[in-house]
């Protein structure tokens, strides 16, 4: 016979010695732990802007290789466009070239047709976030990157503010995280690349020197060029995922995600080489 379940008891006396009791104990724990985390992020190896699939995969590989990585996303729940699958049908398609990444991150997938696989998009997104944080990437949600630190012709960090501050158009100055390399993984809008080109009047490593802008849908071409367009577009600034295609003027691809994952892995390798050569 099974033992009767034990009654769950929360020991309210745990807060003995705290002026203010249990409430102070909870608040103090959160405040201390959060500020310890932010303090560790003031001088990063890599700052990743945008927590869609390409940014999270980049954070995973960089953190796993031992680099100090923070990923910043303006939303409460990072994950970008992957949670919703396609038109909120929460499934995504991934090609077999990306299977090693699914294996590395221990995501569950099912064989579909012609070298493609299906994943539950909620499982996949939650899994990416879980694995990236498990290997040490720090995630700052509700952070909007509104600018970069730009010195001597190189991007050297990110300028951050609370998303609600920007939404409310409050005039509050931002803070900064220094970083040896910065990744624009902001998706369709390529926000960081646009900001760097516009504010500093510099030419990016694209055909026109500016952000060319995304084209309409061609899934196969879009997937191919996502990897090709994943690169350093200005000293210290890299692009991945949809931002890579947006910056270089290539196609969107719809709800197939192998290109995003492979782009995240490729950019992690490029960023790591840059971190090591600039150390
Ligand atoms: C902080 C920011 C900022 C900012 C944006 O769009 P994402 O999912 O990114 P990718 O490129 O890794 O993945 C693209 C994929 O989801 C997709 O949209 C595809 C495959 N589309 C094909 C098609 O045809 O439509 O995520 C970007 C993330 C989001 O979470 C934003 O909240 C975040 O970046 N973000 N965070 N500061 N300035 N700008």
Query: What is the domain count for the chain?
Result: 1
Low-confidence ranges of the chain (pLDDT < 70): 1, 10-14
**76: which DSSP letter?**
S
Give the structural domain span for 243: 21-277
Is 64 within the bounds of a domain?
yes
Is 217 within the bounds of a domain?
yes
CA distances 86 to 10, 83, 90, 271, Å, are 43, 9, 7, 30
- What are the structure tokens assigned to 9, written together? 């008891």
Residue 47 dihedral angles phi and psi, to the nearest 5°: -110, 125
| Torsion angle in degrees (nearest 10) through CA of 242, 246, 247, 250 | 110
- Bridge pairing between strands 91-95 and 116-120: antiparallel
Shortest-distance atom of ligand 1 to CA 243:
11
Q: What whole-number distance in Å separates Cα of residue 226 and Cα of residue 207?
A: 15
Is 9 within the bounds of a domain?
no
Q: What whole-number distance in Å separates Cα of residue 218 and Cα of residue 252?
A: 6
Nearest to 69 by CA among 270, 252, 271: 271
Contacts of 173 (CB under 8 A, 6+ apart): none
Residue in 158, 227, 242 to alter for ligand 1 test, most ligand atoms within 8 A of Cβ: 242
Q: pLDDT value at position 12?
A: 63
Is 140 within the bounds of a domain?
yes
Q: What whole-number distance in Å separates Cα of residue 111 and Cα of residue 201?
A: 48
pTM: 0.96
End-to-end CA distance of the chain: 63
Q: pLDDT value at position 13?
A: 63
Half-sphere exposure of 268 (CA within 13 A, CB side): 28
Q: How far is CA 60 from the centre of its chain?
A: 9
Is 93 within the bounds of a domain?
yes
Q: pLDDT value at position 190?
A: 98
Shortest-distance atom of ligand 1 to CA 143:
1
Residue in 60, 81, 145, 240 to alter for ligand 1 test, most ligand atoms within 8 A of Cβ: 81
Q: pLDDT value at position 1?
A: 62
Q: pLDDT value at position 262?
A: 98
Please tell me the residue having the least CA distance from ligand 1 atom 22.
Answer: 254
Q: pLDDT value at position 258?
A: 98
213 alpha carbon – ligand 1 mean position (Å): 15
CA distances 64 to 58, 61, 192, 237, 268, Å, are 10, 5, 25, 21, 10
Is 5 within the bounds of a domain?
no
Nearest to 246 by CA among 168, 181, 197, 189: 189
Strand partners, 177: 158
Please tell me the residue having the least CA distance from ligand 1 atom 28.
Answer: 50
Please tell me the residue having the least CA distance from ligand 1 atom 5.
Answer: 186
Is 13 within the bounds of a domain?
no
Is 157 within the bounds of a domain?
yes
- CATH assignment of the domain containing 37: 3.50.50.60
């Amino acid at each position: 016979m099974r033992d009767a379940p034990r009654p769950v008891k929360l020991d309210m006396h745990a807060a003995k010695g705290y002026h203010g009791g249990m409430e102070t104990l909870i608040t103090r724990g959160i405040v201390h732990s959060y500020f310890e985390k932010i303090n560790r992020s003031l001088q990063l190896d890599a700052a990743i802007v945008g927590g869609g699939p390409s940014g999270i995969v980049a954070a995973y590989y960089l953190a796993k290789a031992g680099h100090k990585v923070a990923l910043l996303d303006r939303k409460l729940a990072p994950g970008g466009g992957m949670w919703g699958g396609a038109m909120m049908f929460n499934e995504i398609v991934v090609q077999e070239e990306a299977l090693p990444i699914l294996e590395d991150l221990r995501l569950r997938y099912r064989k579909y047709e012609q070298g493609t696989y299906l994943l539950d998009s909620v499982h996949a997104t939650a899994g990416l976030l879980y694995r990236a944080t498990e290997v040490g990437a720090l995630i700052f949600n509700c952070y909007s990157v509104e600018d970069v630190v730009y010195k001597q012709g190189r991007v050297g960090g990110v300028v951050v503010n609370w998303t609600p501050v920007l939404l409310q158009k409050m005039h509050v100055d931002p803070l900064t995280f220094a970083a040896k390399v910065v990744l624009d993984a902001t998706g369709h809008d390529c926000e960081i690349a646009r900001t760097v080109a516009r504010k500093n009047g510099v030419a990016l490593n694209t055909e026109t020197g500016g952000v060319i802008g995304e084209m309409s849908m061609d899934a196969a071409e879009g997937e191919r060029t996502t990897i090709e367009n994943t690169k350093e577009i200005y000293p210290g600034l890299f692009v991945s995922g949809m931002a890579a295609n947006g910056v270089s003027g290539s196609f969107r691809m719809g709800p197939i995600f192998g290109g995003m994952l492979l782009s995240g892995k490729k950019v992690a390798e490029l960023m790591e080489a840059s971190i090591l050569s600039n150390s």
